[in-house]
Structure formats: C-alpha cells, structure tokens
Chains A and B, each alone.
Chain A
Amino acid sequence: MSFESFRQLVQDWATAGYLPEALAYGFVVNALLAGLMIGPVLGGLGTLVVVKRFAFFSEAVGHAALTGVAIGILLGEPYTGPYGSLFGYCLLFGILLNFLRNRTGLSPDTLIGVFLSVSLALGASLLLMLAGKINVHILENVLFGSVLTVSAHDLLVLAIVAVLVLALALPLYNRIMLASFNPQLAAVRGVAVKTLDYLFVVLVTLVTVASVKVIGAILVGALLVIPAAAARLVSQSLKGFFFVSVIIATLSTLLGILLPIVFDLPVPSGAAIILVAGVCFALAALARALVPRLQGNPA
C-alpha cells in the first residue's frame, strides 16, 4: 500500500465516522504521522541530552535552524523546505561548536551563548533582508511550526532521519552515556569518546532540523529536554526514564497537533506541543513532591 492510498484510507474512515473527524483532512494525517515519528525519537534521544547536559546545545541548534532557513531562501531553495541549507548550516553550527568546546578554555554554556547570539543575529538580518520576497506567515511557520505545511516530502525526510538516528543511537546508547560519566574509563572500555561526541552532536542536529517543520525553530529543542526532564523526576531506573520520556514526548506531540484543530484554537502546533509537554512536567514535579517514593532511595 502506497503512502497516498494509506492516507486516503484513513481519511475515508474518518469521513465514515470510524475515526475522529479531524482525520478527514489530509494535512492532519500528515502532521500526526510526523508526530508519531518525532515523539519517540526526540523523547528517547532527549534522555541522552539530559544525561550529557546538552540541553542548551539542543536549544541552540534549534535556533540555528532559523538562520538555515534564511540562507536556504537566499540561495533559492524552496521556502517550504530548504533542507539543504537547514541541514548544512545546522550541522556546521553543531560540529564547529563541538570542535571549539575543548579548545577555547570557555565553559560550554558560554561558548553556546556566543554561537547562539551570533547565529540568531545573522538569521534575523538575513530574514529582514528577505522580508520583501517572502510572506510573513512563512517566518511564523519557521519559528513556531505549522501542521498545515507538512508534506509527503517532509514525512520522507523525517522517516529517513528517524531510522538513521534510531539505528545509530540505540546500539551506541550505553557508550554515549558512559563517555559522559568518565571519558578515561570509557576509552579503556573501547569507546571512541571524541568520535561519539561528534556523532551525538550530528544526531541531535539531524533530528532537530527534521522536526522544525512541525515544532518550529524556537521550540524544537524544548521537546528534547522537557519530556526527559519530566521523566527524570518520576523515574527510579533507566527503563522508566527512557520510556516515560518517549511516552510524554509522543503524547505531547500528538495532543499538541490535535487539540488546536479539535478546539479550533489559533495556536501554532509547536507552541501547543511544548505547552502540553510543560503540563506533563508540572504534573511530574507535583507527583514527585507528593509521593515520597519518587524522591529516590535513602542513602
């Protein structure tokens, strides 16, 4: 069954009343399929982002996507999906940042702050230069995400990135974690610490860029951090940490896409997704405060 016929089948079932009414629209099916890929991948990778304390980095890469889009439009790429410039610029941003991380003597957050500011300044300048050429709603979509613009091509890019990230991150999960605990011990155990650091940066960048269409450049990094942070609050083992993070990320993405459509709210999908994730975080914090067992074992 081709993708088009699958989508038509879902739409037909929704029209016939077997599925929720919102699924009668093709763009909703596309957005939900994107969400089903984004949620588990961002939620799972997010646990490593939290373990490695890469939260600020993932935020910065998301923001760099804004500049990537501007460069793409400037270079004549289609403004609905300037993936060449998006991937190219964000990968360059992430790899250069990682390269300089241990060479400047600056703490990682300071260096990321410098990169983030300069990149945003460049992106803002380029976008304003292009303001005459593009519709202002495109900028809004880039910043905060839009379910209306997710095409079959975007889904294909997302699927390829999701498979690639899962195929690399799952077998290397322990090693990526171990490298952050003690690089020397990791090296003795045969972990190529520096190579894995670069690989992790590349994986975070790829999945961030591929999710920009739905969540938006401003908020995409947050979905790598908030579900994992919420899961960390209520979990007692890595198993709970990983799977609760995946569930929260997936639930947030799907609800964030569906709720504004169902309730006819003029809220961008990215904002709605992060608001749902934020509610999950608040509930997790509350649960931790109220349930002593969640606060960890006594020493």
Chain B
Amino acid sequence: MTAAANLTSACGPRIEFDGIDLTLGRTRILENVRFSVAPGSVHAIVGPNGGGKSSLIKTLLGQMPHQGQLTLHWPGEREVIGYVPQALEFDRGLPMTVDDFMAAMCQRRPAFLGLSRRVRPAIDAALARVGMLDKRKRRMGALSGGERQRVLLAQGLIPEPQLLVLDEPMSALDEAGIQVFEQLLHGWRQAGTTVLWIEHDLEAVLRLADRVTGLSRQVLFDAPPAQALTPERLLGLFSVHPRSESLA
C-alpha cells in the first residue's frame, strides 16, 4: 500500500519541515531543511553519521531551538507521539525486569508495586506483538541487544501513537526481530500511523519505506526509495563529511 492510498484513512499527522536551520555553537547542524512527510506514510531518513538525522528528530520532538517553520497537521484532537530511541542509558545490573520497565514507561503507579490493572492488558498485547511475552520476567540488563530493542519497540506501542518516531530501530535486531519489526510496520501502515524512521540499512528502506529523505546537513534528495536510492545519489550523500563546513 502506498502513502497516497493511505491518505483517506490516515490518523497520523502531516509533518512539514520548512526551512529548518539549526546551529550548535559554531557548527551548523541543519541548513534550510525543507521536506514534508505525508500522513499515514512510512518516511525514512538516511544519511551519514553527523548528518543531522538525530538533531532533526530532536527538533521535531521540541527539544532543539531552531529557526524555520516546523508544522504538524493533526487530523483530529488526539495528538499522540510515540518514540523508539536507539538505546537506553541504564545500569545493566539494575534489578529491573521487562515488566518493571514497561510499568515505569506506561503507568503512574510506582513500578515497584507491579503492573496496574488498567495498563496490564495493553502491556500484555504490546509484549506479545514484539514476541517478548515469555521474557517479561527477565532483567533488562540480561537481555540481548535485539531483545532490548524489541522492548523499546513495545513501549512505543503504548499509548497507540498517531506519529511514531523511530531512531534506527533495526540496528540491534536479529533476523527474527527484523520480521517482528516488519510486521509492526505493516500494522502501522494499516492503521494510518505516520512513521518517521531513521535508518542505516538502505536495503530495508528500499523494501519498506514509502519515501526517503537523504540528509547531510541539507536535504540532498527526497523521493520514493526506488527513485532516490541510486548509486550516484548515495555516493553524493555519503562521500562528503557533513560537518566539514562550520560557521566563519
């Protein structure tokens, strides 16, 4: 199903980045970034390390002071954003089970008192969707990187988001995890969720995304993956160091 086909049923927002500039210290991170994300589409962002992908996400999530216009056009009153980070900063020896982590994410009741009756069904369903239901009593620090990534995906499902921001969700996933991710992506597409997805795996982007933006401080291309991911464009995207130009 294409992004265009989703337009009528989409519950996710349209996102418009219009001339976004971001400067940190004397380094220009983003320069006149201009593209839009169609509602209900799976939109990938690719680019070299230091190209501004994560900064763009932080800007979208309202955590970076920027110049330019960033607009989210929500279709209704409900405005729920889900976010799946690349990793968590926590002490691997911390006695925190998968259930504890999900409770800390999704409920107000202190996680050490266990799952609340209200959120338990949603947490059960989310863990089942990522195939982690049987490992819910495991400590987070004892999970493999791929399993931890699945738990991060599970927290992104609660509450059901209309816009989902994924920061390299496939980086630690094994083959089974990749299948789980693809099923989730299929589900989000069916539900009309707008997905903004930072990814390094260009083959996965080609296969799974509706549209891809190449970002290296500036937008170098913005098109459907089959058109955008040509050898010439990728060479241009990854051959120039994005931070080589700093402010005078």
Q: Which of A69-77, A86-94, A173-181 contacts B (4 or more CB under 8 A)?
A: A173-181
Query: Which of chain A's residues have a CB closer than 8 A to the CB of B58?
Result: 184
A residues touching B (Cβ–Cβ < 8 Å)?
Answer: 47, 50-51, 53, 170-171, 173-174, 177-178, 180-182, 184-185, 187-189, 231-232, 235-243, 296-299
- 28 sampled A-B residue pairs with Cβ under 8 A: A47-B112, A170-B110, A173-B111, A173-B112, A174-B105, A174-B111, A181-B88, A181-B89, A182-B88, A182-B89, A185-B83, A185-B85, A185-B155, A187-B63, A188-B81, A188-B82, A232-B93, A232-B94, A235-B95, A236-B139, A238-B96, A238-B97, A241-B95, A241-B112, A296-B141, A296-B142, A297-B142, A299-B144
Is B210 interfacial (CB 8 A cutoff)? no
Question: CB-CB < 8 A to B91: which residues of A?
Answer: 50-51, 53
B170 interface residue per 8 A CB criterion: no
Most buried by A among B110, B137, B155: B110
Are A239 and B113 also in contact (CB < 8 A) when A51-B91, A177-B104, A181-B90 are? yes
Closest residue on chain B to residue A242 by CB atoms: B112
Given contacts A184-B58, A299-B144, 9 further A-B contacts (CB under 8 A): A51-B91, A174-B105, A189-B83, A235-B95, A237-B96, A238-B103, A238-B112, A296-B93, A297-B142
Q: Give B95-133 interface residues, CB cut-off 8 Å to A.
A: 95-97, 99-100, 103-105, 107-114
> Given contacts A171-B108, A299-B142, are A187 and B61 in contact (CB under 8 A)?
yes
Q: Are A237 and B95 in contact (CB under 8 A)?
A: yes
**CB–CB A298/B100 < 8 A:** no
Query: Which residues in window 135-168 of B have CB below 8 A to A?
Result: 137-139, 141-144, 155, 165
A180 interface neighbour in B89, B141, B142, Cβ under 8 Å: B89
**A174-B95 contact in complex given A182-B85, A184-B83, A299-B144, C-beta closer than 8 Å:** no
C-alpha gap A243/B104 in the complex (Å): 17
Are the CB atoms of A239 and B139 closer together than 8 Å? no
B142 touching A298 by the CB < 8 A rule?
yes
User: Is the CB–CB distance between A189 and B105 below 8 Å?
Assistant: yes
Q: Which 4 A-B pairs have CB atoms at the shortest separation, nearest pair first?
A: A242-B112, A235-B95, A173-B110, A188-B83
Least Cβ–Cβ distance between B18 and chain A, in angstroms: 22
> Within the complex, which residue of B89, B100, B137 is in contact with A238, where a contact is CB–CB below 8 Å?
B100
Please encode chain B, from 54 to 67, with 1 for each CB lying within 8 Å of some chain A CB and 0 for all others: 00001001110000
Taking the nearest CB of chain B, how far is it from the CB of A293, in angstroms? 12
How many angstroms from the CA of A51 to the CA of B94 in the assembled complex? Answer: 7
B-to-A contact residues, CB < 8 Å: 58, 61-63, 81-83, 85, 87-91, 93-97, 99-100, 103-105, 107-114, 137-139, 141-144, 155, 165
Chain A residues whose C-beta falls within 8 Å of the C-beta of B90 in the assembled complex: 51, 180-181
Q: In the complex, what distance in Å separates the CA atom of A51 from the CA atom of B110?
A: 14
Indicate if the CB atoms of A184 and B85 lie closer than 8 Å: yes
Which of B63, B94, B95, B141 neighbours the largest number of chain A CB atoms within 10 Å of its CB?
Answer: B95
Q: How far is the CB of A197 from chain B (nearest CB, A)?
A: 14
Q: Which residues of B contact A231 (CB under 8 A)?
A: 95
B63 touches A184 (CB 8 A): yes
How far is the CB of B49 from the nearest CB of chain A, in Å? 18
In whole Å, how far is A56's beta carbon from the nearest beta carbon of chain B? 15
Contact B143 A299 (CB under 8 A): yes
- Cα–Cα, bound, A297→B140 (Å): 10
CA distance A240 to B139 in the complex (A): 12
Point out which of B87, B94, B138, B165 has the most chain A C-beta atoms below 10 A from its C-beta. B94
A236–B97 contact, CB under 8 A?
yes
Closest Cβ of chain B to A111, distance in Å, is 19
List the B residue with the shortest CB-CB distance to A174: B104
The contact of B139 among A171, A185, A297, by CB within 8 Å, is A297
A187 — which chain B residues lie within 8 A by C-beta? 61-63
Q: Roughly how many angstroms separate A125 CA and B165 CA in the complex, as a whole number?
A: 55
The CA-CA distance from A173 to B82 in the complex, in Å, is 21
Shortest Cβ distance from A51 into B: residue: B94
CB-based contact A174/B61 at 8 Å: no
Interface centre among A174, A180, A236, A296 (most CB of B within 10 A): A174
